[in-house]
Amino acid sequence: LPLQSQEEKKKIEEVKLDIVFIGSGNVAWHLAQAMDLVGHHIIQVISRSDENAMALAMKLGARHTDDLSKTIVNADLYVLCVPDDNIQDVVRDLPELNAGLVHTSGPKSMDILSPKSKDIGIFYPLQTFSKHKEVDMFNVPIMLEASGNAFYAKLFDLADSISNTVLHVTLEDRVKYHLAAVFANNFANHLFYEASSYLKSNNLDFSVLKPLILETAAKIIDLDPEKAQTGPARRGDSETIHKHLELLNNHPRLKELYEALSKGIQAQITDE
Amino acid sequence: LPLQSQEEKKKIEEVKLDIVFIGSGNVAWHLAQAMDLVGHHIIQVISRSDENAMALAMKLGARHTDDLSKTIVNADLYVLCVPDDNIQDVVRDLPELNAGLVHTSGPKSMDILSPKSKDIGIFYPLQTFSKHKEVDMFNVPIMLEASGNAFYAKLFDLADSISNTVLHVTLEDRVKYHLAAVFANNFANHLFYEASSYLKSNNLDFSVLKPLILETAAKIIDLDPEKAQTGPARRGDSETIHKHLELLNNHPRLKELYEALSKGIQAQITDE
């Protein structure tokens, strides 16, 4: 047992990295702090918004700048957390790097990074992050890809130090996971928004729906979503559906969604 | 303090009711057991499906039958938990009742019950129930309506004995809450189903999305859904949206939903 502890300790020592974060948005905010927490050293935060960079850097005891030409060049790893559309421009403005460079985007190829490093990869945490909401990173799946085996092993140790679910996922599959995540997260959240704004426009209280929303998510942990389905479309209750559509006559966007989603649920029953 | 306890004890004694459940589906299953747990007596379960009635009755130490003409007539309360479309037929077949009668439907008027009792009302738990998923009833909002004050007080005590959120809600508002619940629960669950079946059709693992789904729901407890929104449509990332729509060329139903929901998110941004 003491031997095991020593081995474990050694492993943790081995994966302590000096890391530069490029970007200071929601993903950088949570990822950098999770890495810091397990003993990695975030040595610099670089961001167009020097204010955001400073706020994150202060939490980490890191340096910060808004100037990519001032990137610290002797780090062990560079983690790019910028919006997908900006990756190319940021890579162009980075200096040549002597260490690995990863981005954290779901849909983008790692090849976009190749101009600035020979070790390139993906470090994609499949989760929704907002600065003001804490996330338990240990339960966030991290999807990895790397240009070579040694660099993959380095990324694996890093991911493994902050999460209990680390997966090798190819670009093709990662894009599909990201697409499914858009349905499960962005689109589901949009339905919560529509429910909230509909109730608000009727002077009713959205908070009454919160236990239902929590249970909607909790159910699919144990039940397949097809088994968890209930409601008027599932039951084929055409009277209620008709009444709802009438109520939505002044909400054309909601009405369109109601029709498309009810049709989907009825097609789902046919699929079964 | 001893006095208060006595008062509390008295109150609990007062609200102990003899209750007949008509229906043995998901709502009856959870509601009857929650009432039993706090000391009410479920004396009979009546259901078209005598097998379901028996399963529930056995959990409650109640009698059971599939014959409405055998309804025990000296109960304190009758709780109707049958599909909306069957309420009218079941009421027709019930004997004349000497005690209050409620139904548990979101969208239906209580007037549908008036042929069989002078005390009628609504006891609507705003939650999604499946037999194989436990629910903490204490956090389920219960929406009440009653034909008179004395009967309302009786229903309030009963609801208050199993839940910490009891609300008086008119038919007009209840229908709107139910409609919002369809968006927040049925439609959100349908998106989980679509994400799951899309991943399955690509031999990918839906369980990887579960932490994301839990977080999607957990976020709106603290954040407004409009503040919680992230993703390609929120960012206006047209390249990713375009790539996703291409991937969905062989999934016309999913593609239609993707377009409608992305349009909704972009309209939501305009609303802000």
Q: What's the sign of the alpha-carbon dihedral B32, B34, B40, B41?
A: positive
**How would you classify the pairing of strands B41-46 and B166-168?**
unpaired
- What's residue B192's pLDDT? 97
Cβ neighbourhood burial of B134 (10 Å; 0-12, 13-18, 19+): exposed
> Quick one: tokens of A14?
């081995």
Per-residue pLDDT of chain A (272 residues; tens, 9 = 90+): 455 555 555 555 566 999 999 999 999 999 999 999 999 999 999 999 889 999 999 999 999 999 999 999 999 999 999 998 899 999 999 999 999 999 999 999 999 999 999 999 999 999 999 888 899 999 999 999 999 999 999 999 999 999 999 999 999 999 999 999 999 999 999 999 999 999 999 999 999 999 999 999 999 998 888 888 888 898 888 888 999 999 999 999 899 999 999 999 998 776 65
DSSP notation for A137-149: GGGS-EEEEESSH
Of the candidates A140, A126, A187, A220, the one whose C-alpha atom is nearest the C-alpha of residue B228 is A187
> Quick one: tokens of B52?
């379901």
Give pTM, 2 decimals. 0.89
Q: Give the 3-state secondary structure of residue A122.
A: strand
Task: Answer yes or no: do B208 and A265 touch at CB < 8 A.
Answer: no
Q: Give the 3-state secondary structure of residue A103.
A: strand
Could you say which of B175, B192, B216 has the minimum Cβ distance to residue A189?
B216
* Among B220, B257, B268, the residue to mutate for chain A (most A Cβ within 10 A): B220
Q: What's the sign of the alpha-carbon dihedral B142, B163, B80, B15?
A: negative
Task: Answer yes or no: do B240 and A84 touch at CB < 8 A.
Answer: yes
Q: Any chain B CB within 8 A of the CB of A109?
A: no
Q: Is the pLDDT of residue B25 over 80?
A: yes
Beta strands in B148-252 (DSSP E): 166-168
Roughly how many angstroms between the first and final C-alpha of chain B, as a whole number?
Answer: 52
Q: Give the 3-state secondary structure of residue A89.
A: helix
- What's residue B1's pLDDT? 44
At B10, the pLDDT band (50, 70, 90 cuts) reads low
> Quick one: tokens of B45?
């379960």
> Quick one: tokens of B221?
């407890």
Could you say which of A187, A209, A240 has the minimum Cβ distance to residue B107?
A240
> What mean pLDDT is predicted for residues B192-205?
96
Of the candidates B17, B21, B5, the one whose C-alpha atom is nearest the C-alpha of residue B154 is B17
Closest-approach residue (CA) in chain B for A221: B210
Q: How many angstroms separate the CA atoms of A7 and A10, rounded?
A: 5
- The owner of tokens 């697409």 is A179
> Quick one: tokens of B74?
């000296």
At B12, the pLDDT band (50, 70, 90 cuts) reads low
Q: How many angstroms separate the CA atoms of A232 and B35, rounded?
A: 26
Q: How many angstroms separate the CA atoms of B109 and B90, rounded?
A: 15
Q: Quote the ipTM score.
A: 0.91
Spatial contact of B217 and B211, defined as CB atoms under 8 Å apart: no
Beta strands in A173-215 (DSSP E): none
Structure letter (DSSP) for residue A83: -
Of the candidates A69, A73, A42, the one whose C-alpha atom is nearest the C-alpha of residue A56 is A42
B79: β partners: B21, B102
Question: Could you tell me what percent of chain B has a pLDDT over 70?
Answer: 93
Helix or strand (DSSP H, E) at A80: strand A77-80
Q: Any chain B CB within 8 A of the CB of A269?
A: no
Give B249's Cβ-side CA count (13 Å radius).
4
Q: How many angstroms separate the CA atoms of B197 and B248, rounded?
A: 13
Q: Is the pLDDT of residue B223 over 50?
A: yes
Structure letter (DSSP) for residue B147: S
Q: Any chain B CB within 8 A of the CB of A245?
A: no
> Quick one: tokens of A82?
């910028």
* Single-letter amino acid code for the residue at A239: E
Helix or strand (DSSP H, E) at A20: strand A18-22
Of the candidates B39, B31, B35, B32, the one whose C-alpha atom is nearest the C-alpha of residue B11 is B39
Using a CB-CB cut-off of 8 Å, the residues of chain B touching A181 are 195, 209, 212
Q: Any chain B CB within 8 A of the CB of A165?
A: yes
Q: What's the sign of the alpha-carbon dihedral B246, B248, B251, B255?
A: negative
Task: Answer yes or no: do B228 and A196 touch at CB < 8 A.
Answer: no
